[in-house]
Amino acid sequence: MPEIKPTIDNMEILCAETVAGPNALVVFGASGDLTHRKLLVSIFQLFARDLLDDRFYLLGCGRKKFSDEEFRKKAEQSIRENSDFLSSKDLDAFISKLYYIDGDYNDANFYRRIKTRLVELEQKHKVYKSLVFYLSVPPFLYTTIVEHLGSSELACPKKLATKQQIKLVVEKPFGRDLRSAVELNNSISRCFDEPQIYRIDHYLGKETVQNILMLRFANTIFEPIWNRNYIDNVQITIAETQGVEHRAGYYDTSGALRDIFQNHMLQMLALVAMESPISFEADHIRDEKVKLLRSIRAFDINKLDDFFVRGQYGPGSINGKKVKGYLEESGARANSKTETFVAAKLFIDNWRWQGVPFYLRTGKRLPAKDTEIAITFKKVPYSMFSSVGIDELPPNVLVLQIQPEEGISLSFQAKRPGSKICMSTLNMNFSYKSVFLVDMPEAYQRLLLDCMVGDQTLFTRQDDVEVSWQLLTPILQAWEQDESAPHKYAAGSESFAEADRLIEADDRKWRKILESGISQ
């Protein structure tokens, strides 16, 4: 497909970044994979960009026994392995700000020791009670840790005489269903107020996801056609080549609907479909997201197969390499009905979107890694070129590419040089990497900095979580009562018959995963 390369004008309309004030980051689960693969690397990048205050320090808390020096060596190794460009001077300065303490999360004495250590570090670094508690631990530990933070008076500032800036960061999943989400929120809210709680969904930190707001509300060309009069359908895809890997034990009690659909997919849907906020303030944006989620039509459980399809990967091959089926994965139950693929058709009952189908799909062991939002516009109502054999013209498609390379593309029809009638589909591509000539920052950089400066725009609010679970909990309950297994699909396959029928019943087709993507 011919391609049009973009250029940049008015490159510096506004480039503003807020530097974090004095902060102590206390990470529970500091010996775990997420901390070393994502968090430490992202925090170091913020430090190297001079976005952290000189008084910043990090206290890692974990079950594994490490001295400060052992933790620093492990952190340095992780940063070197996951950072393309780094300054040894910056790295040495950053590593010196890392500390570690080990203990049992259920032991009250562990939290007393943490409190004593923080008093020492506060005097050394002069941070003075500006604390961010990051729970990089399995969800079943959230309540335990929060309760101990309260009883030890490390948190619960509303019970203390002194004013403190204390925040809590919670990783997804936020509950397993509506009941557990409400219970978790109630438990956390006994110690933390909503403005202190940062429920993190790393997809919201990705540049193209953030750019949805800019694309929609900083331009006049899209808003007049961003509705049912001009848009035929919207497809949101999250495709992964990986299987469950070492997460099979966790994943077998979760599944794709809980792991990806309830958070990542519904959050992207909300940003694409919501109304314009009155300002760029966090709660104004989050108000509109919640309003949109409330507008999603409830599903008729008696006709669930018309709106949802679940699948589970079997043996197959990825990039020419044979891989196991889900039931062969270590940690998966032999008769597991856990879904690794979900396809869904949603409708939004409001004036803007009435009648427009939103097709969502996510799956593991698919042929390519691909996350995108594709807005397909309606076809021209009449082809003036029918006399020369062109009865139908392809629709215009706007694609927001989120993974593996972030960018935007727009397809449209144009005449090619030569014959009188010679038409092609042109693709106007914008790739962040090729245009700005920089590697895209890790999503956690954005989210960690926002947390430390107190900006909740990209974090999920309590009512947002509960509305999404209210929508999906009946589907989970119906699947649990259904004795039939998910549909099988071979690892490496693009789709399967039942998922195809969901969209083909509407005379539409899924976008090809292998053909999607933004050219560099």
Catalytic residues: 264
Comparing C-alpha atoms, which of 489, 234, 267, 517 is closest to residue 360? 234
Do 208 and 350 touch, CB atoms closer than 8 A?
no
Burial of 96-115, coded b for 16+ CB within 10 Å and e otherwise, reads ebbbbbbbebeeeebbbbbe
Measured between alpha carbons, how far is 196 from 158 in angstroms, rounded to an integer? 11
Q: Is 229 exposed, middle or buried (0-12, 13-18, 19+ CB in 10 A)?
A: exposed
Using omega within 30 degrees of 0 as the cis cutoff, is the peptide bond preceding 404 cis? yes
Q: Which two tokens stand for residue 425?
A: 């589909």
**CA 10 to chain CA centroid, nearest Å:** 30
Do 208 and 406 touch, CB atoms closer than 8 A?
yes
Measured between alpha carbons, how far is 78 from 95 in angstroms, rounded to an integer? 11
Find where tokens 């040894």 sit: 88
Measured between alpha carbons, how far is 278 from 288 in angstroms, rounded to an integer? 9
Do 493 and 367 touch, CB atoms closer than 8 A?
yes
Q: Is 350 exposed, middle or buried (0-12, 13-18, 19+ CB in 10 A)?
A: middle
Local structure of residue 431 (DSSP, 8 states) = E
Alpha-carbon torsion (494, 496, 499, 500), positive or negative: positive
The amino acid sitting at 505 is: A
Residue 211 neighbours by CB under 8 Å, 6+ apart:
400, 408
Measured between alpha carbons, how far is 170 from 198 in angstroms, rounded to an integer? 6
Find where tokens 């359908």 sit: 233
